[in-house]
Amino acid sequence: MNEAQTLYEVLRQSVRPEIVDAFERRVRDAPDHKLCRINALAFAAAEGLDEEETVAGFLQASRLGIFELSWNVLCPGCGGVLDANTSLKTVQSTEYTCALCAAGYEPTLDEMVEVTFTVSPRVRHIAAHNPHALPPAEYFRQIYWGSGIDLPEGDYEAKVDEFVLEALELPPGEKAVISLQLPAEFVIVFEPVTHAAQFLDMKGEPTKERRNLSLVFDRSHRHSETLTLQPGPIRVQVENHAEVRTLPSVCVAGEALHALLGRRRPFLTAKRLLSNQTFRDIYRTDTLDVDQRLKITSLTFLFTDLRGSTELYERVGDLAAFDLVRTHFKVLNEIVAAEAGAVVKTIGDAVMATFPTPDRAVAAAMRMRDAMRALNEERGSEDLLLKIGIHEGPCIAVNLNERQDYFGQTVNIASRVQHLATSREIFATGSVLDDPRASSLLTDRGLNPMAHNMTLRGIANEISIFAIP
């Protein structure tokens, strides 16, 4: 048995066999480009697998060394990878600039940081393990564009040829000249390795006069200022001052390019992964640096607490109460993980959990209430009375007390909403029920939440809170 087969056998101990079989088939049979920066959600859809279980499988496989994780900062406009990282800890810049879109962005973990998986060289060597040897078209496909761009399979190179007029490979320290006839189009001389671009707005009467343009690639010049020129012949001198090969490409920014970049698909975001229980269990504190502060524009928080737990210990005794509370934690953990969430921490008898979307938190809350009711019926008692509060909003991901945690007013409001609830109640804020999927979930179950305007301690304005029956 070779090393790869041994790793797959170990993986089968923690991951469903059909998922491991799908990994093994992909690694064994797929062309190289399908093993570089794999989109876990697209993989699950193509194989007919459950998304959450597939993501957990990729994480477990990465822990064993079958795949390698990459945290890629994306341009929201063109979907290009502005920075690739083996750890979220190295996402440190306060702003990332896309030369192709001539725009700067403050990184957020919602849609600007994707998580992808590349096969490890110990399992199979692929061309992308040496990206600076890839042909230009393959560099764009495998390294520059993120996994959210749904690139065509069979006619990919033909589609690229529709908008790339010229592309060349330029070794470090070398010079070259690109001579070509430019049409009356908006043209971009783009270099994807150093992320440099020169915009050329070709308009007016065509000319036969040859123009000259000089560009230097060295990771510091962006060439984003637009030059207006007449259509006609041009001589572009390019010079590579970078330490690696560069790939100057002359592209027409027209319908063909926009059509290619307009093909989008869901991808695994950093926000979703940070709210994944398997990820938290495997990576624990090795996620963020202690001084890192990463923004999330929307995350849903769920807080629970047991009502009357002090009286419970008094009534049934410490040992029985401890076992009962531990059973309650186990059930809640399982429900949170099944609804794509993660338990951030427990505080006494309380739980703080996060979910990528409000509907998953609402679904989890209703399952928790039903589970506690079933445990009480089984015991013939009313010992487990759960109070639940849910709120959605922006926050900051931080490393706090050697744990990946969250900070901000959204967290404070979610906690205080839970404190307002009485036994067996689920309180959710208006931002939660404004989510179409969450409101649809309640409508499908015939539930009509009751609205109350309330003032929370430390919050200046009243907020709408809904009691979910």
Burial 300-332 (b: 16+ CB within 10 A, else e): bbbbbbbbebeebbeebeeeebeebbeebbebb
Question: Do 127 and 168 have their domain in common?
Answer: no
Q: Tell me whether residue 53 is in a domain.
A: yes
What does the alpha-carbon distance between residue 273 and residue 349 come to, in Å, rounded to a whole number? 26
* End-to-end CA gap in the chain: 57
Name the domain boundary from 132, 151, 182: 132
Start-end of H helices in 387-465: 409-420, 430-433, 436-444
- In a domain? residue 419: yes
In a domain, 402, yes or no: yes
Q: Is the pLDDT of residue 175 over 70?
A: yes
3-state secondary structure of 460: coil
Query: What percent of the chain is modeled with pLDDT above 70?
Result: 96
pLDDT over threshold 60, residue 1: no
Number of C-beta neighbours around residue 455 at 10 A: 10
In a domain, 153, yes or no: no
Residue 145 lies in a domain: no
Q: 10 Å Cβ neighbour count for 411?
A: 21
Q: Which range among 7-21, 310-324, 372-386 shows the weakest confidence by mean pLDDT?
A: 310-324
What mean pLDDT is predicted for residues 347-353? 91
d(CA 365, CA 386): 10
Report whether pLDDT(462) > 60. Answer: yes
pLDDT, tens only, 221-232: 666 689 999 999
Question: Where are any strands of DSSP class E within 337-420?
Answer: 342-347, 350-355, 386-400, 403-407
Burial 146-160 (b: 16+ CB within 10 A, else e): bbbbbbeeeebeebb
Q: Is the pLDDT of residue 209 over 60?
A: yes
Do 304 and 365 share a structural domain?
Answer: yes
- Give residue-wise pLDDT tens across range 400-419: 877 889 999 999 999 999 98
**Are 111 and 174 members of one domain?**
no
- Helix-strand-coil split of the chain, %, nearest 5: 35, 30, 35
CB 244 within 8 A of CB 132: yes
Looking at the fold, whether 329 and 458 belong to one and the same domain comes out as: yes
Q: Dihedral through CA 83, CA 87, CA 89, CA 94, nearest 10?
A: 10
Question: Would you say how long the chain is, in residues?
Answer: 469
Q: Could you give the CA distance from residue 180 to residue 129 in angstroms, rounded to a whole number?
A: 33
Domain span holding position 223: 164-253
Q: What is the mean pLDDT of the chain?
A: 91
> Do 306 and 393 share a structural domain?
yes
- Residue 312, in any domain of the structure: yes
Q: 460 and 387, same structural domain?
A: yes
Q: Per-residue pLDDT averaged across 136-156, rounded?
A: 95
d(CA 269, CA 114): 4
pTM of the model: 0.90
Span 7-19, mean pLDDT?
Answer: 96
State whether 123 and 174 are in the same domain: no
Q: Which comes out higher in pLDDT, residue 90 or 13?
A: 13
pLDDT for 459: 76
The SS3 of residue 349 is: coil
Q: Which two tokens stand for residue 205?
A: 């009467």
